[in-house]
């Protein structure tokens, strides 16, 4: 197990190298010039050239990559061309927001998705099954953008239960320690800030949770159905175990491997930022950041984010693989 | 166990739902912006988002009057110009302090300027200073005379420099603050303005608070928060529920809904821009001396887009009469613009309101075409912008409208579209026969429209700003004279005369001045839209 983890972590090196070369070429191939973006529409050619020179944009692309790589190996992702701030700091400022949103959404998605899937499978072809699966289809096909606005209209405008934009009420000021609002407000004992940031989390989490929730429900259902048809289930029923024992104790655990895979994949995806949800709900997360960076052709910022996403994705996948071992003792890594 | 967990979860959710919205502190105004600021150093930005925050933190030697682009004293109480017009001496306001408690004085002024133009200045390395080269290159140096007097030395007489001094670029920053934070000073802005910087949560909000010691008296608002809400629909929803008190860039499709809501006020004013169609009149020059001026040794030559009919004044006037601008503004700009008759916005110094616009008269247009020798019309290519700009929201639709209007008088218009970068390159090189374009002003001075867009000097093939290649020498003389005198009335006269020439020779079809708009809750009082789209919240209060 230990060697397996080390091996997997070592594999990160070629993955990150590949990803960085690919993203570096793609962003440089795209038309547009960050120097023109910062200099503004009316700037003189001298100013633009001076900016290009300052950020090394006048050098050949291979040289630029080499300079960037050497800097990254020293642990420095560079400075954003647009904001002049260190990219590491920019990511650190926004990632906690995306992480909190992801955790909340996945929490909703897993709980509701799994329960719906299990119930559907154990009562196949019942009204409950049809309605859950119909809802799941609805959930997968619904545009997040539209759903977000609808949630805001219902819970924010008409019912006035929940705030509709931002991370926390503008009227509350509190001290940040880690950047995780919920954690920080608890650490500083600021109950008002805790409640406010929790309330701000609810709508975006629901909007973001719909697609993974629906996928999880469908996978859980089909995986459960497969397990329920197996011989050992028949044996258990024959032994006279209650249906609840059969389903929750034996079937669910056996059906979980594909579900965990889907959860892992979704988790990795959401961690790289939910651009639409973050835009609709004005969530200051990493997804919005990278879209802005791409639009402004902020090369160091784009590179830094992509490298970070690739790293997170690999780690989440590794964790998923480790979880398999705990779910299914038959799985061993040499 | 599981049941218990779920019921605890549900209960806690209920608890959260039952809590009401956070209490709103009175005197706090939250404004919804479409994007975050990039940097908070006034000399180092070109984007409107950064500028709108800093307009409330920093001030310059002079400032715009409320709602106009005329200037008035600010951190300088008075100034005088030397006889040759190349030295302007400013007397500074005494007793003003920066937000960090240090004194505002001549050293701070020299610091704020010199770091931009002097490559050997220790703080020059910390910025790009993009606007300096473009707007302020006529400033040779800024010198301290005594603690409260500074002298700006110009290399050329430049009347527009006074208006340029009201730009954010030359706002005065605290040298002590710059020294304290060095390359990070842009994150901790410190000026003399009505609001002090409190915090900046990236992509979320920037909070400012009242400057208790502001020299004009404390602002009425206690706090001013700029909150980023990128999506215009979400921004309007947030305004409707009262999470924010004002917002920028409302979606024109929402205007009716906003007007129908008694809690909201839609503000709309002409913006500092012009959208036009330029007709290549045929001749430009190559600026071999690279000085941006047409010298005698640089003869006029045919532009690559030369088209015989467009060289005739009658044809260009006919085209002006064949296009129904009112309809374009009403149906394509959807009423978010006003019809233009001159090449600069109506609120500017020297705007000639006596000029009578060409009427929409297809019959007269046909007559003029026949008189010019084209009774059956001709074929022409129109460069259509591939992107929407603040002065032109939907260029392809406007192009189609022009195509059909000109078709009606026998002129066959062919569309030409290419990516934006190439578009600018091709039009600057005069490859077009007709093109759609426009301009957003920088400093509010008429020179920034007239000389840049309509002068002979900017008919340089390859770097043109005058896309009609309108090479009238008399016109350029007027524009140059207007730039070389500080007498405001005299300047206005020159510009008025120049507009008459431009109108008569009809190189352009001036289409529209797009409006700028903002929405506020009805309890927000005192806010005035500024023609430059800058946002000054000092006079604003909440009722």
Which sequence spans correspond to the domains of chain A? 32-76, 87-327
pLDDT at position B73: 96
- DSSP secondary-structure letter at B456? G
Mean per-residue pLDDT over chain A, rounded: 89
Residue A250 has pLDDT above 90, yes or no: no
Residue B131 near residue B42, CB atoms below 8 Å: no
Interatomic CA distance for residues A233 and A168, integer angstroms:
49
Tell me what ipTM this predicted complex has.
0.87
Residues 6+ apart with CB under 8 A from B315: B309, B368, B369, B372, B374
Q: How far is the alpha carbon of B437 from chain A, nearest alpha carbon, in Å?
A: 13
The nearest alpha carbon in chain A to B245 belongs to: A170
Residue B182, burial from CB neighbour count under 10 angstroms (0-12, 13-18, 19+) = exposed
Q: At what angle do helices A61-73 and A299-327 cross, to 10 degrees?
A: 50
10-residue mean pLDDT profile of chain B (543 residues): values are 56 48 65 92 88 95 90 96 94 97 97 95 90 86 96 93 93 97 94 96 93 96 95 93 93 90 93 95 91 90 96 97 95 90 93 96 96 95 88 91 96 90 86 94 91 93 92 96 92 97 97 94 94 92 93
| CATH number among 3.40.50.2300, 3.40.50.1460, 3.90.25.10, 3.40.190.10, domain B28-228 | 3.40.190.10
Among A54, A94, A199, the residue with its CB nearest the CB of B16 is: A199
Interatomic CA distance for residues A194 and A185, integer angstroms:
5
pLDDT at position B5: 55
Are the Cβ atoms of A282 and B199 closer than 8 angstroms?
no
N- to C-terminal Cα distance for chain B? 53
The predicted model gives A130-145 an average pLDDT of 89
- Identify the residue with better confidence: A222 or A330: A222
* CA nearest to B451, candidates B512, B507, B498: B498
Q: Can you read off the two tokens belonging to residue B523?
A: 């309890």
Best of B5, B12, B207, B234 to mutate (most A CBs within 10 Å, chain A)? B234
> Which string of b and e fits B260-292 if b means at least 16 CB within 10 Å?
ebeebbbebbbbbbbbbbbbbbbbbbebeeeee
pLDDT at position B2: 52
Best of A30, A34, A42 to mutate (most B CBs within 10 Å, chain B)? A42
pLDDT at position B340: 96
pLDDT digits (tens, 9 = 90+) for A162-210: 999 999 888 887 788 888 999 999 999 889 999 999 999 999 999 999 9
Q: How far is the alpha carbon of A61 from chain B, nearest alpha carbon, in Å?
A: 21
Among B21, B187, B204, the residue with its CB nearest the CB of A163 is: B21
Interatomic CA distance for residues A2 and A15, integer angstroms:
20
| Backbone angles phi and psi of B89, in degrees to 5 | -105, 125
Best of B2, B7, B16, B22 to mutate (most A CBs within 10 Å, chain A)? B22
Measured between alpha carbons, how far is residue B334 from residues B327, B331, B398 in Å? 9, 5, 12
| 3-state SS class at B521 | strand
Neighbours of B88 (CB within 10 A): 23
Residue B345 near residue B272, CB atoms below 8 Å: yes
Measured between alpha carbons, how far is residue A119 from residues A130, A260, A328, B18, B313 in Å? 11, 18, 22, 30, 80
Provide, rounded to the nearest whole percent, the portion of chain A with pLDDT above 90. Answer: 47
Instruction: Please tell me if residue A54 touches chain B, with a CB cutoff of 8 Å.
Output: yes
Instruction: Tell me the chain A residues in contact with residue B233 when contact means C-beta distances shorter than 8 Å.
Output: 149
For domain A87-327, is the CATH number 1.10.3720.10? Answer: yes
Are the Cβ atoms of A166 and B39 closer than 8 angstroms?
no
In chain B, list all ranges with CATH 3.40.190.10: 28-228
| 3-state SS class at B74 | coil
Across A29-43, A119-133, B170-184, the highest mean pLDDT is recorded for B170-184
User: What residues are paired with B149 via a beta bridge?
Assistant: B91, B146
Q: Which single residue is written with the structure tokens 């509190």?
A: A174
For domain B273-516, is the CATH number 3.10.105.10? Answer: yes
pLDDT at position B57: 97
- DSSP secondary-structure letter at B247? E
Are the Cβ atoms of B421 and A31 closer than 8 angstroms?
yes
Residue A279 near residue A290, CB atoms below 8 Å: no
Mean per-residue pLDDT over chain B, rounded: 91
Q: How far is the alpha carbon of A72 from chain B, nearest alpha carbon, in Å?
A: 21
Are the Cβ atoms of A160 and B130 closer than 8 angstroms?
no
In chain B, list all ranges with CATH 3.10.105.10: 273-516
* CA nearest to B132, candidates B165, B159, B110: B165
The predicted model gives A267-296 an average pLDDT of 89
Interatomic CA distance for residues B456 and B208, integer angstroms:
46
The string of DSSP codes covering B361-394 is: -HHHHHHHHHHTT-TT--EEEEE--SS-BTTBS-
Size of interface A-B (CB pairs under 8 A): 135
The string of DSSP codes covering B133-169 is: HHH-TTEEEEEEEETTEEEEEESS--TTHHHHTTSGG
User: What residues are paired with B380 via a beta bridge?
Assistant: B413
pLDDT digits (tens, 9 = 90+) for A271-282: 887 888 999 999
């Amino acid at each position: 197990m230990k060697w397996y983890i080390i091996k997997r972590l070592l594999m990160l090196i070629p993955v990150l190298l590949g990803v960085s070369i690919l993203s570096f070429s793609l962003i440089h191939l795209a038309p547009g010039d960050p120097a023109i973006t910062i200099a503004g529409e009316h700037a003189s050619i001298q100013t633009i050239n001076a900016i290009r020179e300052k950020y090394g944009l006048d050098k050949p692309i291979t040289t630029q990559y080499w300079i960037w790589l050497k800097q990254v190996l020293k642990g420095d992702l560079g400075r954003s061309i647009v904001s002049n701030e260190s990219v590491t700091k920019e990511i650190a400022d926004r990632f906690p927001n995306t992480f909190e949103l992801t955790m909340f959404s996945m929490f909703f998605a897993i709980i509701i998705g799994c329960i719906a899937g299990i119930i559907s499978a154990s009562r196949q072809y019942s009204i409950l099954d049809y309605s859950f699966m119909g809802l799941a289809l609805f959930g997968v096909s619904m545009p997040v953008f539209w759903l977000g606005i609808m949630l805001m209209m219902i819970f924010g405008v008409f019912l006035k239960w929940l705030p509709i934009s931002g991370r926390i009420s503008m009227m509350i000021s509190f001290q940040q320690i880690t950047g995780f609002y919920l954690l920080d407000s608890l650490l500083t004992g600021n109950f008002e800030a805790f409640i406010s940031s929790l309330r701000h989390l609810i709508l975006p989490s629901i909007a973001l949770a719909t697609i993974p929730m629906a996928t999880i429900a469908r996978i859980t259902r089909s995986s459960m159905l497969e397990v329920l048809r197996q011989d050992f289930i028949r044996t258990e029923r024959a032994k006279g175990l209650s249906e609840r024992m059969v389903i929750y104790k034996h079937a669910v655990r056996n059906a979980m491997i594909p579900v965990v895979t889907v959860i892992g994949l979704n988790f990795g995806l959401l961690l790289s930022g939910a651009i639409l949800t973050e835009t609709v709900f004005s969530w200051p997360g990493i997804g919005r950041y990278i879209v802005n960076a791409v639009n402004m052709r902020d090369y160091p910022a784009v590179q830094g984010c992509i490298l970070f996403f690739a790293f997170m994705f690999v780690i989440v996948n590794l964790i998923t693989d480790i979880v398999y071992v705990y779910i299914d003792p038959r799985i061993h890594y040499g | 166990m599981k049941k218990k967990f779920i019921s605890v979860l549900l209960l806690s959710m209920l608890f959260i739902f039952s809590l009401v919205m956070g209490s709103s502190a009175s005197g706090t105004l939250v404004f919804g912006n479409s994007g975050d600021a990039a940097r908070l150093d006034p000399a180092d930005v070109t984007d409107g988002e950064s500028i709108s925050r800093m307009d409330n933190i920093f001030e310059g030697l002079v400032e715009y009057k409320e709602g106009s682009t005329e200037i008035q004293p600010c951190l300088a109480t008075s100034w005088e110009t030397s006889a040759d017009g190349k030295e302007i001496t400013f007397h500074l306001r005494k007793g003003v302090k920066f937000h960090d408690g240090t004194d505002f004085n001549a050293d701070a002024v020299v610091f704020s300027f010199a770091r931009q133009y002097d490559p050997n200045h220790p703080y020059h390395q910390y910025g790009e200073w993009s606007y300096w080269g473009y707007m302020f290159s006529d400033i040779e140096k800024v010198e301290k005379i005594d603690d409260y007097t500074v002298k700006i030395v110009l290399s050329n007489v430049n009347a527009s420099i006074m208006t340029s001094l009201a730009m954010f670029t030359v706002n005065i920053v605290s040298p002590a603050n710059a020294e304290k934070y060095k390359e990070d000073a842009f994150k901790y802005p410190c000026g003399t303005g009505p609001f002090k910087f409190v915090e900046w949560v990236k992509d979320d909000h920037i909070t400012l608070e009242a400057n208790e010691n502001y020299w004009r008296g404390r602002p009425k608002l206690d706090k001013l928060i700029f909150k980023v809400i990128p999506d215009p629909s979400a921004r309007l929803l947030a305004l409707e529920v009262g999470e924010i008190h004002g917002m920028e860039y409302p979606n024109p499709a929402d205007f009716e809904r906003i007007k129908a809501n008694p809690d909201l006020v839609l503000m709309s004013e002409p913006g500092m821009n012009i959208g036009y169609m330029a007709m290549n009149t045929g001749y430009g020059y190559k600026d071999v001396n690279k000085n941006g001026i047409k010298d005698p040794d640089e003869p006029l030559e045919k532009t690559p887009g030369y088209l015989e009919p467009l060289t005739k004044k009658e044809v260009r006037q006919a085209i002006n009469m064949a296009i129904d601008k009112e309809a374009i503004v009403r149906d394509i700009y959807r009423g978010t613009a006003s019809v233009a008759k001159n090449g600069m916005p109506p609120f500017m110094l020297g705007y000639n309101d006596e000029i009578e616009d060409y009427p929409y008269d297809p019959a007269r247009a046909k007559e003029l075409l026949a008189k010019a020798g084209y009774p059956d019309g001709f074929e022409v290519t129109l460069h259509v912008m591939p992107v929407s700009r603040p002065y032109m929201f939907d260029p392809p639709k406007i192009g189609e409208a022009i195509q059909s209007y000109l078709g009606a008088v026998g002129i066959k218009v062919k569309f030409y579209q290419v990516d934006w970068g190439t578009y600018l390159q091709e039009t600057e090189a005069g490859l077009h026969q007709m093109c759609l374009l426009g301009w957003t002003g920088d400093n509010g001075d008429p020179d920034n429209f007239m000389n840049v867009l309509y002068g002979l000097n900017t008919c340089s093939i390859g770097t043109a700003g005058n896309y009609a290649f309108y090479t009238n020498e008399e016109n350029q003389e007027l524009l140059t004279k207007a730039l070389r005198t500080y007498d405001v009335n005299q300047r206005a006269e020159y510009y008025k005369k120049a507009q008459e020439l431009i109108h008569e020779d009809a190189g352009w079809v001036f289409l529209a001045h797009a409006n700028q708009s903002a929405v506020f809750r009805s309890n927000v009082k005192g806010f005035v839209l500024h023609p430059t789209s800058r946002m000054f919240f000092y006079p604003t209060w909440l009722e």
